[in-house]
Amino acid sequence: MEKVSVFDTATSGTVYLEPEQDSEIKMFVCGPTVQGPIHAGHARTYVFYDTLARLFSLLGIKVRFVINITDIDEKIRDVALNKGVTPEEYAEEQVSGFIRNMEQLRIKSVSSLERVSKHVGDIIDYIKLLIENGFAYERDGYVFFDTSKQNSFGYLSHLPMEEILLRPVELNEKKRNMLDFSLWKPVKVTSKDIESPWGAGSPGWHIQDTAIALKVFSKGYDIHGGAYELIYPHHEALITIIKAITGRTSFVRHWVHTHLLRIEGKKMSKSEGNVVTVNSLLERYSPSKLRFALLSKHYRKDMNYEDIEKAAKLYERMRKRMPSEGSEPSRELLRMVVSDIDTETVVKRMEDISSSGSQEEKREAVAFAEYVLGVGFE
């Protein structure tokens, strides 16, 4: 059996991914905060992890793939108020839109979508445990994680502590230490109060997916994934919390990150106000064409928005040369992709096959594209 390798952010090296428990790969990927429709950068991330899961499935390895959805948040509340609807109504609309986009993108490998609103009780329980064990403290309705007791910052970013100290996790005069971060805030984000032992409020960002991951994968898991921009502070805060609760940095075996999608030299993000939504992209491109484009650049390289159109034109040229039906997935392409999920090299080889390959090579490439890349040439 071919072995799958990826780049592990924690070790700064390539590692082989093999199931440790129950012959199953357990994968958790950070999902969206649903303050609006997902954009092309989100799509690149989710398509990549879906491709990874598809690859495991082709190799006969079961995958349990979980994505969290932040559906209670100040940003969601603010947008909802501007639109004259409740935060719950707006979040419900956006979650439905996210699920629809995932289906349109042919992302079929996700085992469950875990909404933060459904895990508030678990979040509160973990915060209570952190307080009881001396890793968190309350102050005026806030609960902060005490990084003087446990601090894993630098584990993924590999930044020296003197540089990390210049990048405070959040600004709040009530916390004791510069790197402390909120686990609970006295901030109302829903139409009804969310009660807790520390008063009404809402959970901080860093505890949300941490609590879900701990609840869903109670014995540990193989891969935590997300976009590169989440490494610091979000994922390092997550590691800090997990180690405080479990005593293990190795609770998550490997950390995998997709790089940025840029537009006009800047990262595509809602905060930059330069997003191109998946909805608008799907008006121009078929799901297969869009997936092909997003996978045409290696996941550890930044991608420019203009690259999507270039790859879409390449797909169209290839589609005219390829048969509509495949045979068995290409072993040659499989050997390429298992090495650090090198979809970029695969796309280049498929281009060669489409122009000069035999009919059987083309049929095998079409089958591989369907099984692993989630791309059809019909």
For 155-191, write each residue's pLDDT tens digit.
Answer: 999 999 999 998 888 999 999 999 999 999 999 999 9
HSE (side-chain half, CA atoms, 13 Å) at 240: 29
Query: Quick one: pLDDT at residue 243?
Result: 98
How many Å apart are CA 313 and CA 57, to the nearest integer?
29
pLDDT in tens, 288-314: 999 999 999 999 999 999 999 999 999
How many Å apart are CA 298 and CA 321, to the nearest integer?
24
Residue 354, both tokens? 């489409």
Give every CB contact of residue 227 below 8 A, 6+ residues apart in sequence: 30, 41, 45, 257, 258, 259, 260
How many Å apart are CA 226 and CA 24, to the nearest integer?
20
Q: Domain residues of the chain, as ranges? A: 18-267, 307-373
HSE (side-chain half, CA atoms, 13 Å) at 155: 21
CB 29 within 8 A of CB 67: yes
Question: b vs e for 72-101, b when ≥16 Cβ sit within 10 Å of the residue's Cβ?
Answer: bbbebbebbeeeeeebbebbbebbebbeeb
Give every CB contact of residue 273 below 8 A, 6+ residues apart in sequence: none
Residue-averaged pLDDT of the chain: 96
Residue 362 CB neighbour total at 10 angstroms: 22
Give pLDDT < 50 ranges for the chain. none
Query: Quick one: pLDDT at residue 271?
Result: 75
What is the Cα 361 distance to its own chain's centre? 33
Query: Quick one: pLDDT at residue 22?
Result: 63
Give every CB contact of residue 202 below 8 A, 6+ residues apart in sequence: 72, 73, 74, 184, 185, 187, 188, 189, 190, 194
How do the residues of the chain divide into helix, strand and coil, expressed in percent and rounded to 5? Answer: 45, 20, 35
The candidate with the shortest Cα–Cα distance to 97, out of 30, 48, 27, 42, is: 42
How many Å apart are CA 274 and CA 243, to the nearest integer?
36
Phi, psi of 161 (to 5 degrees): -60, -35
HSE (side-chain half, CA atoms, 13 Å) at 171: 2
Residue 351, both tokens? 């281009």
CB 46 within 8 A of CB 278: no
With tokens 């997936």, the residue in question is: 291
The candidate with the shortest Cα–Cα distance to 300, out of 360, 244, 259, is: 259
Query: Quick one: pLDDT at residue 269?
Result: 81
With tokens 């392409």, the residue in question is: 333
Q: How far apart are the first and last CA of the chain?
A: 30
Q: What is the pTM of this model?
A: 0.96
Distance set, CA 210 to CA 30, 119, 126 (Å): 10, 11, 9
- What CATH fold (topology level) applies to the domain 18-267? Rossmann fold (3.40.50)
- The strand pairing partners of 261, in sequence order, are 303
Strand order in the sheet with 181-185: 136-139, 142-145, 181-185, 202-203
Query: Quick one: pLDDT at residue 265?
Result: 83
